[in-house]
Amino acid sequence: MSRTGRAGVGGALAMSFVGGSVAVSAGLSRAPFLTVQALRYAVAAALLVALCALTGRRIQRPRGVEWLWLAGVTGCGLILFNVALIVGGEHAEPAVLGVAVACVPVVLAAVGPLLEGSSPTARAVLAAAVVTLGAALVEGFGRSDAVGLVWAVVVFACEAGFTLLAMPLFARHSPFGVSVHTTWLAAAGFALPGVWREGPRAVLRLDATALAATAFLAVFVTAGAFVLWYGCVASLGAARAGLLTGIAPVAAAMTGVSLGHPFPGIGVWAGVAVVATGLALGLRSRHATPATRHSGEATEPTPV
């Protein structure tokens, strides 16, 4: 398998983890939210630092404006995103927030290439729109009040920011470095208000189910998925990588079935087919990857 192929598989696996987290997170419905998130990101940061040490990867210290980019990824893509999911879920059905996330491929296809020094293509935007339509069919559209729609827009913006705000950091920090810095910053960002609002002993109130769910989020959805996703974006470019986000709602639906939920109806399967069509349309593109465009060489990008 080629290096870009492995990057694509990594991105698909990352989105599968994200989709599977929907069912797993149900075990955290009664857990102290801020404490769980602080623990999740702290464990993920520790795992990433240990992995970097074992593999000889050097973690660069951020400097200058890089702190602003990292603060944007952390504050928008991690902290505000998780808060928006919780608060938005009080006013809108999960499908509404899921459809908001499903709209992200179009933004990545339109804006991502500009950050990479090229121009968006009609084919990439069309493929992203097809994937978004398919993901929306899988999710269903759900019901919401006006406040819920506002939070859905926040979820959409935060999900897009998680990728777009990280892209300027890849050159010096690599996907591993960006993942390390954003996770420890998120851990601190959740820990401070967590101690104030939930108390320093809140972690002791987590039962076995909550601890297992937190461990899954830390290992797979955070440490694993962050590196895989950022590596995919760095290798394939934001436009093509963004198409893979359509896999998340499909994975969520399949995970639900494995946990005993009702088998998906025909609308879900139609959505899966539309997502597959969008992926085929966009991933068959022969456009150069970000690494080849910047170097001017015909070689494949170096894996992370």
Q: Give the pLDDT of residue 182.
A: 98
C-alpha closest to that of 97 among 86, 111, 107, 106: 86
Judge whether 197 lies within some domain. yes
In a domain, 295, yes or no: no
Amino acid at 41: Y
231-252, pLDDT tens digit by residue? 999 999 999 999 999 888 888 7
* Per-residue model confidence (pLDDT) at position 292: 40
Q: Is residue 80 part of a domain?
A: yes
Let me know: does 97 contact 152? Beta carbons within 8 Å.
yes
Q: Which residues contact residue 184 at a Cβ distance below 8 angstroms, ignoring those fewer than 6 apart?
A: 41, 42, 45
Single-letter code of the amino acid located at 37 = Q
In a domain, 90, yes or no: yes
Q: For all residues of the chain together, what is the average pLDDT?
A: 87
Residue 205 resides in a domain: yes
Mean pLDDT in residue range 21-42: 87
Q: In this structure, how many other beta carbons lie within 10 angstroms of the beta carbon of residue 70?
A: 21
pLDDT digits (tens, 9 = 90+) for 183-233: 999 999 999 999 999 999 999 999 999 999 999 999 999 999 999 999 999
- 286 pLDDT tier (thresholds 50, 70, 90): low
* CA gap 124, 61 in Å, rounded: 35
| Any domain includes 292 | no
239 located within any domain: yes
Count how many domains the chain has: 1
82 within domain boundaries: yes
Cα gap 263→212, rounded to integer Å: 25
> Whose CA is closest to 99, among 288, 289, 301, 245?
245
Q: Residues 6 or more apart from 277 whose CB is under 8 A from it? A: 130, 134
pTM: 0.88
| Structural domain harbouring 204 | 3-286
pLDDT of 285 higher than 60: no
Residue 15's closest CA among 135, 156, 167, 178? Answer: 135
